[in-house]
């Protein structure tokens, strides 16, 4: 996501990914899938994500495995469960399958050298671009300056390195867009508009900001919200933000702000009053139980039904009270357009655009002949035609963090723990050779008991990077390890050689991209004062 620096010094990382062989290749077992250790996820590094599965329950992240079959030509990070979760990615997957408009955006806070952790995000952007999505890569220089205190000169130096690696890995600058926050006026203007929909109390609750937080840091957050919605400025479209789970607070806030900017909110309703989702679910059950469209269902009858059959359920008390107060008003499903930010002209245009039976009120319109999806598209069309944004809520996909080569955190301040994309290939070879493994105490034990690949940083290198698109090879390495056929010395030697080859090839391509980068429409030197 904008500003995703993939965990720098002082940041916390999850325990090792548990990887197991499964049908179709190597997959994560989900047992250590993502949580927050009873603290809020923090994009700037105070949270520890140690159990990935907790993220599904605590933060509403959905399991990616459930929608894998919807994704055309899924990337190996998806197939192997490295990408473990998502928010609302089905909308993007549908566009990719059908050749419709979609977008992908992620950003990088240039606080150090790009490393193999960043490569995962680069790959996710590039894969989406190759599937037909509009692709955006940004340098989060305002965030780096405000949240990390980097000078503009330092930011410029690191920014060039990030961009060269992104291009070398396959990003097409002619089909995509690269920019830096500080020089993109459209992003800054959108950030100003979004700021009117956010407040300090919200930032305090989400990020833990307090009276000591400087205003520039808060402003950088609003700028990131604008980054996330930027691909939809010219035309609303489903957009995915590939991130680590620590960046989820940004995604959730961006989704909220996208909704707050909309002219209309589209909901389901059953009577003149408003109801919560739980209450609406019970009202639908009562409506259908009492005969549905074939009967003249009244609110008071639905209240009696819920008292008899659903008392004590979530939402029942509120639903019963609202239905009872409505008395003999008909209970009938409809789609409701609620006026959020619409101009009077846009509201009138919506009324005119709703075909079929409808009821018009001061602040909402009820339609009886539209599905929810039809209503959503109609509301968006009317909004855009009348000068609104029509934002889709941004989607996101979440990847696991890589374990450091030393077995703990992958930290830029501990060179042995990570491999920079700028490391000399021989240095990369040496780092892998010196890495911690999941092997047994002796070769004899390894042959008898098998290695612990799911606790091995070296095996992660195969699964996340070195095996590339070859699931068969990644599975073979895993099975040979846990079966006792593969010993750590030979395994590390092979991984070290592959890493050396990768770095040599990548750096050769980086050199080739120097001229390409110079032609890209992006300011490589900040015009801001150096003092």
Q: Rg for the chain (alpha carbons), in Å?
A: 26
In sequence order, what DSSP letters do the residues of 146-167 get, joined into one string? HHS---HHHHHHHHHHHHHHHH
Classify the C-alpha dihedral 264-269-275-277 as positive or negative: negative
Q: Give the count of alpha carbons within 13 A of 185, CB side only.
A: 0
The yes-or-no verdict on residue 161 having pLDDT over 80 is yes
Cα distance between residue 299 and residue 306, in whole Å: 11
* Whether residue 12 has pLDDT greater than 70: no
Residue 291 burial (CB < 10 Å; 0-12/13-18/19+)?
exposed
Reading the block at residue 279, the tokens are 């209450």
Sheet holding 103-108, edge to edge: 62-63, 83-87, 395-399, 239-243, 103-108, 134-139, 177-180
Distance, in Å, from the CA atom of 258 to the CA atom of 466, rounded to the nearest integer, reads 38
Query: Greatest CA span in the chain, whole angstroms?
Result: 81
The domain limits of the chain are 265-385, 415-509
Q: Is 447 exposed, middle or buried (0-12, 13-18, 19+ CB in 10 A)?
A: middle
Cβ atoms within 10 Å of 196's Cβ, excluding its own:
11
Is it the case that residue 98 has pLDDT exceeding 90? Answer: yes
Please give the structure tokens belonging to residue 69: 């079959």
Say which range, 121-130, 178-187, 245-254, has the weakest mean pLDDT: 245-254
Q: How far apart are CA 69 and CA 87, in angstroms?
A: 16
Looking at residue 246, the DSSP 8-state letter turns out to be G
For residue 177, the model assigns a pLDDT of 97
| Residue 236, H or E segment | none
- pLDDT of 1: 61
Residue 38's pLDDT is 41
421 phi and psi angles, rounded to 5 deg: -70, -10
Pick the range with the lowest mean pLDDT from 24-38, 90-104, 253-267.
24-38
Tell me the pLDDT band of 3, cut-offs 50, 70 and 90: low
Q: What is the 3-state secondary structure of 54-118?
A: HHHHHCCCEEHHHHHHHCCCCCHHHHCCCEEEEECCHHHHHHHHHCCCCEEEEEECCCCCCEHHH
Please state which architecture CATH assigns to domain 415-509: Orthogonal Bundle (1.10)
The dihedral built from the CA positions of residue 469, 473, 477 and 480, taken in this order, carries a sign that is positive
Q: Is a pLDDT exceeding 70 seen at residue 64?
A: yes
Greater confidence (530 vs 236) lies with 236
pLDDT at 519: 94
Q: Are 17 and 398 in contact (CB under 8 A)?
A: no
Q: What is the pLDDT of residue 140?
A: 93
Among 332, 336, 279, which Cα is nearest to 310's? 279
Question: Does an H or E element contain 363, and which?
Answer: none
Phi, psi values for residue 239, rounded to 5° = -135, 135
Question: Would you place residue 508 in the very low, low, confident or very high pLDDT band (cuts 50, 70, 90)?
Answer: very high
Question: Could you give the CA distance from residue 18 to residue 32 in angstroms, rounded to a whole number?
Answer: 7
pLDDT grade, residue 4 (50/70/90)? low
DSSP type of residue 138: E
Q: What is the pLDDT of residues 16-59, one digit of tens each?
A: 333 344 433 444 332 232 333 343 444 434 334 556 777 777 77
On the question of pLDDT at 9 being above 70, the answer is no
Q: What is the spatial distance between Cα 296 and Cα 313, in angstroms, rounded to a whole number?
A: 25
At 179-189, the pLDDT tens digits run: 999 999 999 99
CA distance 283 to 326: 13
Average pLDDT for the chain: 88
pLDDT in tens, 190-231: 999 999 999 988 988 888 888 888 888 889 899 999 999 999
Q: 342 is written with which tokens?
A: 């619409």
Region 47-74: what's the mean pLDDT?
Answer: 80
Interaxial angle between packed helices 277-289 and 316-326, expressed in degrees from 0 to 180 and rounded to the nearest 10: 60
Q: What is the pTM of this model?
A: 0.87
Beta-carbon contacts of residue 405 (< 8 Å; ≥ 6 apart): 416, 417, 418, 419, 431, 432, 434, 435, 436, 457, 458
Looking at the DSSP bridge assignments, the partners of residue 179 are: 138
For position 214, what pLDDT does the model report?
A: 86
Q: Which of these, 331, 332, 351, lies nearest to 343 by C-alpha position?
A: 351
Q: Do 144 and 109 touch, CB atoms closer than 8 A?
A: yes
The pair of three-digit structure tokens given for residue 327, joined into one six-digit string: 């008395």
Q: How far apart are CA 14 and CA 82, in angstroms?
A: 13
The region that residue 483 occupies, defined by phi over 0 for left and psi between -120 and 50 for alpha, beta otherwise, is alpha
Q: What percent of the chain shows pLDDT beyond 70?
A: 89
Per-residue pLDDT reduced to its tens digit, 453-484: 888 999 999 999 999 999 999 999 999 999 99
Average pLDDT on 101-109 reads 95
Two structure tokens written together for 433: 């050779």
Question: Cβ(171)–Cβ(129) under 8 Å?
Answer: yes
| Structure token pair of residue 526 | 């900040």
pLDDT digits (tens, 9 = 90+) for 33-45: 233 334 344 443 4
- Predicted pLDDT at 50: 56
């Amino acid at each position: 996501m904008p500003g995703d620096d993939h965990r720098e010094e002082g940041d916390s990382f999850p325990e090792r990914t548990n990887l197991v062989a499964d049908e179709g290749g190597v997959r994560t077992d989900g047992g250590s899938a993502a949580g927050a250790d009873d603290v809020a996820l923090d994009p700037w590094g105070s949270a520890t994500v140690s159990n990935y599965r907790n993220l599904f329950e605590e933060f509403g992240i959905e399991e990616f495995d459930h929608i894998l079959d919807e994704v055309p030509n899924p990337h190996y990070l998806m197939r192997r469960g490295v990408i473990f979760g998502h928010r609302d990615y089905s909308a993007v997957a549908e566009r990719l399958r059908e050749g419709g408009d979609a977008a992908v955006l992620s950003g990088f806070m240039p606080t150090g050298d790009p490393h193999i952790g960043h490569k995962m995000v680069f790959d996710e952007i590039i894969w989406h671009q190759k599937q037909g999505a509009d692709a955006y890569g940004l340098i989060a220089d305002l965030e780096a300056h405000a949240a990390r205190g980097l000078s503009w000169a330092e930011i410029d130096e690191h920014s060039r390195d990030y961009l060269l690696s992104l291009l070398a890995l396959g990003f097409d600058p002619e089909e995509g867009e690269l920019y830096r926050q500080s020089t993109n006026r459209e992003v800054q203007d959108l950030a100003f508009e979004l700021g009117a929909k956010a407040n300090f109390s919200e930032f305090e609750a989400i990020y833990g900001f307090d009276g000591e937080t400087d205003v520039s840091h808060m402003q950088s957050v609003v700028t990131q919200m604008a980054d996330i919605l930027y691909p939809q400025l010219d035309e609303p479209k489903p957009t995915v933000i590939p991130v680590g789970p620590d960046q989820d607070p940004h995604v959730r806030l961006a989704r909220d702000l996208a909704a707050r900017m909309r002219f209309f909110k589209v909901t389901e309703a059953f009577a003149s009053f408003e109801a919560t989702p739980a209450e609406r679910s019970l009202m639908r059950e009562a409506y259908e139980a009492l005969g549905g469209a074939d009967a003249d269902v009244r609110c008071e009858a639905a209240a009696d039904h819920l008292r008899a059959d659903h008392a004590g359920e979530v939402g029942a008390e509120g639903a019963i009270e609202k239905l009872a107060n409505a008395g003999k008003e008909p209970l009938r499903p409809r789609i409701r357009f609620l006026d959020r930010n619409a101009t009077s002209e846009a509201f009138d245009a919506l009324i005119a655009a709703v075909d079929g039976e409808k009821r018009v009120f001061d602040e909402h319109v009820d339609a009886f002949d539209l599905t929810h999806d039809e209503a959503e598209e109609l509301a968006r069309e009317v909004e855009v035609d009348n000068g609104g944004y029509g934002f889709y809520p941004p989607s996101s996909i979440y990847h696991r963090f890589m374990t450091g080569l030393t077995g703990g955190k992958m930290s830029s301040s501990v060179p042995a723990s990570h491999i920079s994309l700028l490391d000399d290939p021989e240095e990369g070879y040496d780092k892998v050779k010196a890495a911690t493994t999941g092997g047994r105490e002796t070769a004899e034990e390894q042959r008898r008991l098998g290695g612990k690949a799911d606790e091995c940083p070296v095996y992660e290198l195969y699964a996340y990077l070195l095996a590339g698109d070859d699931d068969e090879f990644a599975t073979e390495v895993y099975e040979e390890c846990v079966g006792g056929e593969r010993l750590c010395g030979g395994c590390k030697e092979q991984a070290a050689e592959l890493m050396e080859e990768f770095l040599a090839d990548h750096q050769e391509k980086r050199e080739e991209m120097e001229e390409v980068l110079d032609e890209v429409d992006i300011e490589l030197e900040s015009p801001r004062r150096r003092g």
